[in-house]
Amino acid sequence: MDKMTKTARLEKTDMSHSPNSKSATELAIIILAAGKGTRMKSATPKVLHKIAGLPMISHIVKTAESLKPKKIVTVISEGMDDVAAAVAPHQTAIQKQQKGTADAMKSALSILGDFAGEILILYGDVPLVSKSTLEGLLTHHRKGKFGATVLAMAAPDPTGYGRIFQNPDGTLNRIVEEKDANDDEKIVRLVNSGLMVMEGEDLAEHLDKIKSKNSQGEFYLTDLPKILAEEKIVTGVIRGDFYELRGVNSRSQLAELEMAWQHRKRLELMDEGVTLLDPNTVYFSPDTKIGRDSVIGPGVIFGPNVNIEDNVEIRAYCHIEGAKIKSGAQIGPFARIRPDTIIDEKTRIGNFVEVKNSYIKKGAKANHLGYIGDAELGAHSNFGCGAITVNYDGKTKSKTIIGDHVMVGSNASLIAPIEIGDGAYIAAGSTLTQNVDADDLVVARGKQTNLKGKAKGRMKKE
């Protein structure tokens, strides 16, 4: 038996004897997302509202997956098919009526069955929690051998959150919901993030004991510690960062979380060696990649799937999505780069140039006011000011292939499908409908006629 297999076997044997190491591997995650999100005032389910272009629920599913649990079950309400699609292939449980977070848990158990490992509860509207915070929660839970452990946070303004009360030894005494709190309790700023881990064993019975005798007439999961305490089972508390754990109940909180997310990403990229001239004005997507010594100007927006190499300069106010931009390229200001675009080394895309589904080869330039769509622009070619590829005839999109060292004169229209050979020179203002061979000079425009003195009297004199 090789060493690896032996270790694996030993761990397996270990697990079946020690409850602690067993729970270390047996983890299920439940994401609560059945709430109507009334405070969002939206026809879209709350958890599908986006942060950094990605639905909140997808942020959570990604983090949940990173913990490699046995199962991820999302609780949704009837008709939330879009949420089910967003969490697929993970399973969903339907909560028929939104009777509170404890009731939502019961719906999840209908799918989880009598899972006896650890159950981690995440909230669909607490999207920015990090893997390391959740690992910290699990470690604290295991170390303390608690029946449940809640993730708390110190909120600058605790309004709307459940307040946390601890025993002198730091374990949980009780959670009081905002609506049930008296004035003294409301002063407390240590609040419940909603996220918690609990032991799956006997959970169904514990949940059954939760009553809805509170101001909202709901079954609160936050009453679980009280139920556990009756059986002398202790609930632990660990604190996390408010900026990561706060929830989204309204549009303004959604905007706050977007800011928090963008702030984190900006710091991360600067740490990796990217210069952001005015960080607060630049917006990223979760998958934005930017190489070292690249410089990003103010007001630049990165949509999904952008990969920028080292030493690229993106000047102010560019909008870039679905593009690969190679080393030494200079883009903008005011350029729009759309999906399926590759921009090679040392190219130059200037102001008010739009590029879509195109390959701009090494050293090529399109410096001003142009449209390059469904095209190839050959190495060291020049795409003049105001030139465009005419790629769409109302029905189909066609390709424009431009060779190396080509001059496309200003205001030329290249009606696709069309191919321009290497070294060709297209006169300004030409409208091309036919292919051009290598090294040909093309003039395709009306001839100029000057009529002597005929302009007199045509314009009003002020």
Active-site amino acid positions: 368
Is residue 126 within the footprint of ligand UD1 (CB under 6 A)?
A: yes
Q: From the list Ca ion, ligand UD1, none, which binds 220 (C-beta under 5 to 8 Å, kind-based)?
A: ligand UD1
- Cα-Cα-Cα-Cα torsion 138, 128, 55, 289, nearest 10 degrees, comes to -110
Nearest alpha carbon to residue 223 among 153, 270, 152, 172: 172
Q: Which stretch binds ligand UD1 (CB under 6 A): 13-21, 185-193, 423-431, 433-441?
A: 185-193
The residue from 53, 100, 240, 409 that contacts ligand UD1 (CB under 6 A) is: 100
Is residue 21 within the footprint of ligand UD1 (CB under 6 A)?
A: no
The residue from 63, 74, 95, 391 that contacts ligand UD1 (CB under 6 A) is: 95
Number of neighbouring beta carbons within 10 Å of residue 166: 14
| Rounded distance between C-alpha atoms, residue 15 and residue 116, angstroms | 13
Choose between 126 and 372: whose C-beta lies nearer to ligand UD1: 126
The residue from 58, 149, 192, 235 that contacts ligand UD1 (CB under 6 A) is: 192
Pairing of strands 431-432, 163-166: unpaired
The residue from 29, 63, 112, 161 that contacts ligand UD1 (CB under 6 A) is: 161
Rounded CA Rg of the chain: 30
Which residues, in sequence order, are bridge partners of residue 326? none
* Helices 56-66, 131-144: inter-axial angle, 10-degree rounding: 50
Residues in contact with ligand UD1, shown as a per-residue x/- string from 222 to 241 under the rule CB under 6 A: x-------------------
Q: How far is the CB of 50 from Ca ion (least distance, A)?
A: 17
Is residue 244 within the footprint of ligand UD1 (CB under 6 A)?
A: no
Q: Nearest to Ca ion by Cβ — which residue?
A: 247
- Positions touching Ca ion (CB under 5 A) are 125, 247, 249
Is residue 33 within the footprint of ligand UD1 (CB under 6 A)?
A: yes
CB-based burial, 423-435: b 16+ in 10 Å, e otherwise = bbbbebbbebeee
Is residue 249 within the footprint of ligand UD1 (CB under 6 A)?
A: yes
Which residues, in sequence order, are bridge partners of residue 301? 283, 319
The residue from 40, 115, 125, 412 that contacts ligand UD1 (CB under 6 A) is: 125
Choose between 252 and 449: whose C-beta lies nearer to Ca ion: 252
Of residues 338 through 367, those in contact with ligand UD1 by CB under 6 A are none
Q: From the list Ca ion, ligand UD1, none, which binds 391 (C-beta under 5 to 8 Å, kind-based)?
A: none
Is residue 101 within the footprint of ligand UD1 (CB under 6 A)?
A: yes
Structure tokens at 207: 């949940």
Is residue 103 within the footprint of ligand UD1 (CB under 6 A)?
A: yes
The residue from 28, 29, 30, 34 that contacts ligand UD1 (CB under 6 A) is: 34
Choose between 249 and 275: whose C-beta lies nearer to Ca ion: 249
Nearest alpha carbon to residue 203 among 28, 22, 61: 28
Choose between 127 and 247: whose C-beta lies nearer to Ca ion: 247
Q: Nearest to ligand UD1 by Cβ — which residue?
A: 162
Is residue 376 within the footprint of ligand UD1 (CB under 6 A)?
A: no
Q: How far is the CB of 117 from ligand UD1 (least distance, A)?
A: 22
Number of residues that bind ligand UD1 (CB under 6 A): 29
**Contact present, 24 and 115 (Cβ < 8 Å):** no
Q: How far is the CB of 81 from Ca ion (least distance, A)?
A: 22
Is residue 123 within the footprint of ligand UD1 (CB under 6 A)?
A: yes
The residue from 29, 35, 276, 381 that contacts ligand UD1 (CB under 6 A) is: 35
**Contact present, 242 and 161 (Cβ < 8 Å):** no
Q: Which stretch binds ligand UD1 (CB under 6 A): 10-18, 33-41, 256-264, 303-311?
A: 33-41
Choose between 103 and 376: whose C-beta lies nearer to ligand UD1: 103
Q: How far is the CB of 376 from ligand UD1 (least distance, A)?
A: 48
Choose between 125 and 321: whose C-beta lies nearer to Ca ion: 125
Choose between 46 and 71: whose C-beta lies nearer to ligand UD1: 46
Q: How far is the CB of 62 from ligand UD1 (least distance, A)?
A: 17
- Residues forming contacts to ligand UD1 in the complex (CB under 6 A) are 32-35, 75, 95, 98-101, 103-104, 123-126, 161-162, 175, 177, 191-194, 220-222, 247, 249
